[in-house]
Copies of this chain bind each other. A is one copy, B any other.
């Protein structure tokens, strides 16, 4: 149940509405966890019921209510518990890689298209994450400013260092993916040059 902890972590920086959270989650580059609003709103409600957060409600129009959530002492304790706990590493489940292992069912052009898309995707994210690392290191994002403003200055160095390091990990991953896709493109060219049979039919032999 990491969505809950992602939300808790975010709200320790700054009290926010559900909408603000969805923005940070799916529009900004700020996060290592994706979730759609249809998952976020109900989870915030459940967290409120469980006493991890409290909402300050104000009316919005005739019907709606706007809720600004902030983390309670219980929520803070739960976040601490989760961070301290060792969680077993996730199991591999990598559809992109799985597919790449069976490209003999596809033709060379499409295989190249496949690796090109991979390349472009990770080049983009490498840039986004790298930019975010810079901004974190410069303590320049609104969120890190808020977080630092709410914590003891003696902790600031560690708070920033941990976040910078986490995003650097994502940058490194992205670089590895870019290199892998480039290698894939070279491989397809070589296979084609070596005159491997048009693989459209490969695998259908029996």
Give A118's nearest chain B residue, CB to CB.
B89
Q: Do residues A155 and B9 form an inter-chain contact, with CB atoms below 8 A?
A: no
Encode contact with B along A164-206: 1 for CB under 8 Å, 0 otherwise.
0111111011011101100110010001001011010111111
Interface residue? A20 (CB, 8 A): no
One of B84, B95, B104, B191 near A90 (C-beta < 8 A): B95
Tell me the smallest distance from the CB of A206 to a CB of chain B, in Å. 6
Q: Do residues B206 and A98 form an inter-chain contact, with CB atoms below 8 A?
A: no
Known contacts being A98-B6, A158-B199, A180-B172, is A34 close to B194, with CB within 8 Å? Answer: no
Known contacts being A104-B158, A114-B86, A183-B168, is A98 close to B152, with CB within 8 Å? Answer: no
Q: Which residues of B contact A204 (CB under 8 A)?
A: 76
Q: Do residues A12 and B196 form an inter-chain contact, with CB atoms below 8 A?
A: no
Question: How many copies of this chain sit in the oligomeric assembly?
Answer: 2
Cα A203 to Cα B75 with chains together (Å): 12
Q: Which residues of B contact A9 (CB under 8 A)?
A: 98, 101-102
Known contacts being A89-B118, A159-B202, A172-B176, is A197 close to B152, with CB within 8 Å? Answer: yes
| Interface residues on chain A, size class | 35 or more
Q: Which residues of B contact A96 (CB under 8 A)?
A: 87, 89-90
Listed A/B pairs (15) with beta-carbon separation below 8 Å: A31-B92, A32-B97, A32-B101, A33-B92, A33-B94, A79-B102, A83-B102, A84-B105, A101-B166, A104-B155, A104-B158, A172-B176, A173-B177, A175-B176, A176-B176
Instruction: Write the residues of chain A forming the contact surface with B, with a CB cutoff of 8 angstroms.
Output: 2, 5-6, 9, 12, 31-34, 76, 79-80, 82-84, 86-87, 89-106, 110, 113-114, 117-118, 121, 150-152, 154-155, 157-159, 161-163, 165-170, 172-173, 175-177, 179-180, 183-184, 187, 191, 194, 196-197, 199, 201-206
